[in-house]
């Protein structure tokens, strides 16, 4: 093989290596970041709805008359469970209220694909 051809192949491989590393390492990390950001946004936008539901649960009122729903809200059950679906990735999050001994309502999120990792 000629030295020019060998130099070309080495240069091509040297140029391709960073692109492959970028593709294999950075892009999946960014994708996970986008998913976490979307889930966090859905949880933040659902906070006012959670407060309304908690207030109704404390006062033992029916939950059916709560409006408006945040964008990600898919369904609210009669006992206060909230199903959120993220718009882009279609992840589902279930927010389950529970009454504490002092009467306060706390929320436990359950994620379709496991825990939200930070």
Q: What integer pLDDT is reported at residue 118 of this predicted model?
A: 46
CA 37, 116, 53, 103 torsion: positive or negative? negative
Task: Tell whether 50 is covered by a domain.
Answer: yes
- The answer on pLDDT for 73 being more than 80 is no
Asked if residue 33 belongs to a domain, the reply is yes
Q: What is the mean pLDDT of residues 99-113?
A: 88
Distance CA 61, CA 87 (A): 30
Q: Is the dihedral of CA 111, 75, 98, 68 positive or negative?
A: positive
The band of 76, judged by pLDDT with boundaries at 50, 70 and 90, is confident
Number of domains in the chain: 1
3-state SS assignment for residue 83: strand
Chain-centre distance of CA 34, in angstroms? 8
Task: Tell whether 7 is covered by a domain.
Answer: yes
For position 68, what pLDDT does the model report?
Answer: 65
CB 114 within 8 A of CB 91: no
Average pLDDT, the chain: 85
Kindly state whether residue 116 falls inside one of the protein's structural domains. Answer: no
* Domain-located, residue 117: no
Higher pLDDT among residues 96 and 24, named by residue: 96
Residue range 9-53, pLDDT digits in tens:
999 999 998 888 888 887 888 888 888 899 899 899 899 889 999
Residue 118 located in a structural domain:
no
In a domain, 60, yes or no: yes
Domain that holds residue 91: 3-111
């Amino acid at each position: 093989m000629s030295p020019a051809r060998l130099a070309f192949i080495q240069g091509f491989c040297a140029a391709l290596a960073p692109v492959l590393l970028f593709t294999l390492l950075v892009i999946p990390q960014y994708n996970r970041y986008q998913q976490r950001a979307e889930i966090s946004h859905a949880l933040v936008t659902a906070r006012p709805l959670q407060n309304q539901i908690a207030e109704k649960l404390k006062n033992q009122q029916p939950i059916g008359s709560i409006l408006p729903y945040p964008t990600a809200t898919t369904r609210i059950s009669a006992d206060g469970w909230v199903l959120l679906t993220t718009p882009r990735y279609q992840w589902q999050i279930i927010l389950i209220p529970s009454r504490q001994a002092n009467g306060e309502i706390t929320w436990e999120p359950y994620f379709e694909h496991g825990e939200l990792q930070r």
